[in-house]
Amino acid sequence: MNTNRTLKVVIAALLGTGVMAGSVANAQEMPDFENWKCRFCPFPEKGVSGDAGASAIDVSDDSARFGDYTGLDEEGTRINAGADMVYRAGSGYAITLDARDLGLDSRSLALQAGRQGRWTVDLSWDELPRRLDDSVSTVYEGLGSSRLTLPSNWVRGNFTSELSALQGNLRDFELGWDRETAGLGLEFVQSARLRYEAEWTRQTKEGRGLTWGSFLGTAEDLVKPLDYQTDQVDAALVYAGQDWNVRLGYYGSFFSNQDTSLTWDNPFTGPDRGRMAMAPDNRYHQGRLSGVYRFATWDTTLNASYARGRMEQEDALLQYTINPAIAGQPLPVQAFDGRADTTNASVRLTARPADALRVSAEYRYNERDNESGQYDWAAVQADSFQTLSFRNPAYSFEDQDLLLRANYRFNRRLSAAAGWEQRERERDFQNVETTEEDTLWGSLSFRPVSALALSFRLEDGSRDASEYQAIPSTGLGAEQNPLLRKYYLADRERDLVQVQAEFTPAPRFNLALRYEDARDEYDQSQVGLVEADYDQLSADASIQLGKALVVTAYFSRDTYDSRTVGAASFAVPNTAPPNWEARTEDRHDVHGVAFNWPGLADGKLDLRADFMQAESEGDSGVATVLGGNPDAFPTLRSQLKGFQLNADWHVNPRWTLNAGWRWEKFDADDWAIDGVGPATIPSVLTFGAQTLDYDIDVFLLGFRYNLVKDEE
């Protein structure tokens, strides 16, 4: 070993080979660029390139669920179009256009102009159709407004069976909304080190949402108006130094709602009408500074971030009630001074003290400091009766996390990692002031042969809660059972096991298996959620047959089981011992197979086919005696099946014809809504929603035109 080589070994050992190898290019003598002509480099020429296309899409039936997010909710044929194009001017100036689904309610458009490496301007437009339910009917008029009225011939009653004008006034309608987002983005590269970014988006959401209204002992399904607008601004200055970089950013969110309340007529006997508050306007400002410094020693990096934010809302408040029979009390304030300050900070140190060893330590701090006013409110319950005075809690919390981990690579076949995490939560106005969770974990990755990779992970977490205490000033009859432990605040033991295997016996065949078992036990909880168990098993395989046919298949099963214990009592306060329990067992299976066969018929035909099936089942039972035989509910079921076949025929380099067929079927059984008509529940006037089963065929026929040059 000569001196140079020895020196390299020492330096590599100290700095880590990654750093050294990563900077090899910089260490070289630069080439003679006179000979680097790049004559064979096919740089795009000036002009327009890309493709554009159009298609006719036929949908066989109406279905809100099928059309949710896609815009294919109505039967019939529509013309769709899209384009992916770029215009290149000289000197690197370019304009790109990405237009998708222009004929559908899920259309999007993105336009970018600029000169790469100097500046860019982005304009975007995006629509997202929510089609929630088309199985619903109502007697209310004024849907989508903030005032819902009953027909003039409406007859009130104590129960739905007494609403004699119900059937004659029911009208079908649809629940859903459209979300539209416009965006403007700017990037300016001032120098190799300094860059500015800014993005503004305006998101609107308009339509009809589902809500409910209630009076004393009765309730009704209602349509709530949605007329939201959210403006968001993200702006940042980014500076990259030699061994460090820093980002100074601002994030702002400004939400406004055109409807501050919803007033509705009471279909039952009782107060004439009620009024509820809609989401108030709010705004949030956050400043953020984050950065990283890279030390030469041990490939060490230090990341840090600090952000301060403030969320505010001060909408004028509604009165306690609109029921004229109840003497109105004066409000303590006319507008709520809602304000919460947020702090988020983190520091992370990562180092490679040896090439095989990587260690990191991280500290995180998150705080929500609720500075909102607290007042005594003379609340009127459900526009029906005056209650005791209550003081609103101002929930604040403070989280501190400490995470340590180490990875060690024994050799190319074996590596191990271990870590310890401590998460501490402090809360105000809740049953538990502090929870502290310690988690130890370890993992092992092993490649016994090059064709097989195995990995294992074990995790053991223990969460300890401070003394459980009753929340003050909740009023008579509202106290929780003293044996209850709310699951997100309770002592918890969490165990997790993960096993993964990836088998690649041949370059053209791959099989991956994964298993996970996560178990939560709330062993100090006598009432509440006492255990939850999540299992997941999945398998993926892909194989290439022949020159180009690739077949992939997948299977997945996950189960989620839980057990909840209750303490039923009508005595005030509820001090009953545990006396009932409920168990749930949810299962979700997915399997599918896909074929991708490009280049058929001398390269003219690309074929793709895809079959997928997803089934879920939910079994639950309630035992009215602790440990007794559960009374089993009908199984919740859903089944989604789908098949797609797509073909692209490349007529010539310019023209491609597309044809496709997509079939999708959805069936569900849900005891919470099946057979529940508008008047089924004596005290609740519902929309009579049903499970949204569908069986839809979609046919597509279209073309794509590619703007290739003649010589290509």
Partner 1 sequence: MLSRFAVMILALLLLGVAELAWGQDEEPGFSARGADNCIGCHRRWEPPLMGIFETPHGNPHDARSPFGEEQLQCEACHGPGGAHAGRVKRGDPRPPIYNFGSEADTPVAVQNGMCMQCHDGHVGEQWAGSAHDINTVACADCHSLHTPEDAVLDSRTQSEACYACHAEVKSDFLKPSAHPVRQGALACTDCHNPHGTANDSLLKRATLNETCYDCHAEKRGPLVWEHAPVVEDCSVCHDPHGAVHPAMLTRRPPQLCQSCHTPSGHPSVPYDTSGLPDGTPSPYLLGGNCLNCHTQVHGSNHPSGKALMR
For residues 568-587, which are near partner 1 according to CB under 8 A?
Answer: 568-574, 576, 580, 582, 584, 586
The reply to whether 472 sits near partner 1 by the rule CB under 8 A is no
Closest of 105, 102, 106, 99 to residue 124, by C-alpha: 99
Q: How far is the CB of 678 from partner 1 (least distance, A)?
A: 10
Does position 360 bind partner 1 by CB under 8 A?
yes
Residue 85 in the binding site for partner 1 (CB under 8 A) = no
Q: Is 494 in the site for partner 1 (CB under 8 A)?
A: no
Instruction: Tell me the C-alpha distance between 83 and 105, whole Å.
Output: 16
Query: Which C-beta is closer to partner 1: that of 255 or that of 607?
Result: 255
Binding mask 93-132 for partner 1 (x = CB under 8 A): -------------x--------xxx----------x----
Residue 76 or 682: the one with the smaller Cβ distance to partner 1 is: 682
Per 3-state DSSP, the chain is made up of helix, strand and coil in percentages (nearest 5) of: 5, 60, 35
Q: Pick from 107, 208, 273, 368 the residue near partner 1 by CB under 8 A.
A: 368
| CB of residue 185 to partner 1, shortest distance in Å | 15
Alpha-carbon distance of 548 to 602, in angstroms, equals 12
Kindly tell me which residue out of 146, 158, 263, 286 binds partner 1, with binding defined by CB under 8 A: 286
Nearer to partner 1 by Cβ, of 150 and 530: the residue is 530
153 vs 295 by CB, closer to partner 1:
295
Report the residue number, 195 or 494, with the smaller CB distance to partner 1: 195
* Interface with partner 1 in residues 226-245 (CB under 8 A): 228, 230, 232, 238-240, 245
CB of 267 to partner 1, least distance (A): 13
Q: Which of 57, 163, 340, 696 binds partner 1 (CB under 8 A)?
A: 340
The single residue among 104, 292, 607, 696 that binds partner 1, judged by CB under 8 A, is 292
Q: Which stretch binds partner 1 (CB under 8 A): 5-13, 55-63, 264-272, 596-604?
A: 5-13
Asked if 346 and 360 count as a contact pair (C-beta separation under 8 A), the reply is: no
Which DSSP symbol is given to 477? Answer: T
The count of other CB atoms within 10 Å of the CB of residue 498 is 17
Distances (CA, A) of 7 to 2, 3, 73: 9, 6, 70
C-beta of 325: minimal distance to partner 1 in Å?
Answer: 15
Q: How many CA atoms lie within 13 A of 250 on its CB side?
A: 10
How many CB atoms neighbour CB 261 within 10 A?
A: 13
Among 60, 146, 204, 407, binds partner 1 (CB under 8 A): 407
Return the number of the residue (9 or 651) whose C-beta is nearest partner 1: 9
- Three-state SS string over 444-468 comes to EEEEEECCEEEEEEEEEEEEEECCC
| C-alpha 286 chain-centroid distance | 22
Residue 560 near partner 1 by CB under 8 A? yes
Instruction: State the number of binding residues for partner 1 (CB under 8 A).
Output: 204
Longest dimension (CA), the chain: 103
Q: Closest CB to partner 1 among 79 and 625? A: 625
Q: Which is nearer to partner 1, 212 or 655 (CB)?
A: 212
At which residue do the structure tokens 């209850």 appear? 484
277 lies in the site for partner 1, by CB under 8 A: yes
Total residues found in the chain within this entry: 712
* Least distance between partner 1 and beta carbon 22 (Å): 3
User: How, if at all, do strands 147-148 and 261-265 pair?
Assistant: parallel
Report yes or no: 494 and 518 within 8 Å, Cβ to Cβ.
yes
58, 362, 517, 693: residue in contact with partner 1 (rule CB under 8 A): 362
How far apart are the C-alpha atoms of 280 and 27, rounded to whole Å?
60
Selected from 145, 392, 400, 706, the binder of partner 1 by CB under 8 A is 392
527 C-beta neighbours (distance < 10 Å), count: 23
Q: Please, are residues 170 and 678 in contact by the beta-carbon 8 Å criterion?
A: yes
Q: HSE (CB half, 13 Å, CA atoms) of 350? A: 10
Chain positions 25 to 64 lying near partner 1, rule: CB under 8 A, are 25-31, 33, 35-44
Q: Which amino acid is at 576?
A: A
> How many whole angstroms from its chain centre is CA 403?
25
Shortest approach of partner 1 to residue 14 CB, angstroms?
Answer: 9
Buried b (16+ CB within 10 A) or exposed e, 645-656: ebbbbbeeeeeb
User: Of these, 294, 494, 519, 654, which contacts partner 1 (CB under 8 A)?
Assistant: 294
CB 639 within 8 A of CB 666: yes
Residue 227 C-beta: closest distance to partner 1, Å: 11
> In DSSP terms, which residues pair with 270 in a beta bridge?
none
- Residue 159 binds partner 1, judged by CB under 8 A: no
Nearer to partner 1, 121 or 318 (CB): 318
What is the end-to-end Cα distance of the chain in Å, rounded? 55
Beta strands in 215-280 (DSSP E): 219-240, 244-257, 261-265, 273-277
Ranges within 602-661 binding partner 1 (CB under 8 A): 612, 614, 616, 618, 620, 622-624, 631-634, 636, 638, 640
Of residues 58 and 234, the one with the C-beta less far from partner 1? 234
Compare residues 26 and 652 and give the one whose CB is closer to partner 1.
Answer: 26
Return the structure tokens found at 200.
Answer: 């503004």
Binds partner 1 (CB under 8 A): choice among 78, 156, 494, 588 = 588
Both structure tokens of 340: 């919460």
Q: What tokens appear for 361 in the block?
A: 């330590």
**Shortest distance, CB of residue 601 to partner 1, whole angstroms?**
20
Instruction: Give yes or no for a contact between 57 and 81, defined as CB atoms under 8 angstroms apart.
Output: no
Q: Which stretch binds partner 1 (CB under 8 A): 139-147, 167-175, 288-296, 657-665?
A: 288-296
Exactly one of 676, 700, 703, 705 binds partner 1 (CB under 8 A); that residue is 676
Binding piece for partner 1, criterion CB under 8 A, among 6-14, 138-146, 460-468, 693-701: 6-14
Rounded Cα distance between 121 and 57, Å, is 33
Contacts to partner 1 from residues 496-525, by CB under 8 A: 512, 514, 516
Residues 686 and 164 sit within 8 Å (Cβ to Cβ): no
**Least distance in Å: CB of 593 to partner 1?**
14
Q: Is the Cβ of residue 80 or residue 214 nearer to partner 1 in the bound state?
A: 214
Q: 550: helix, coil or strand?
A: strand
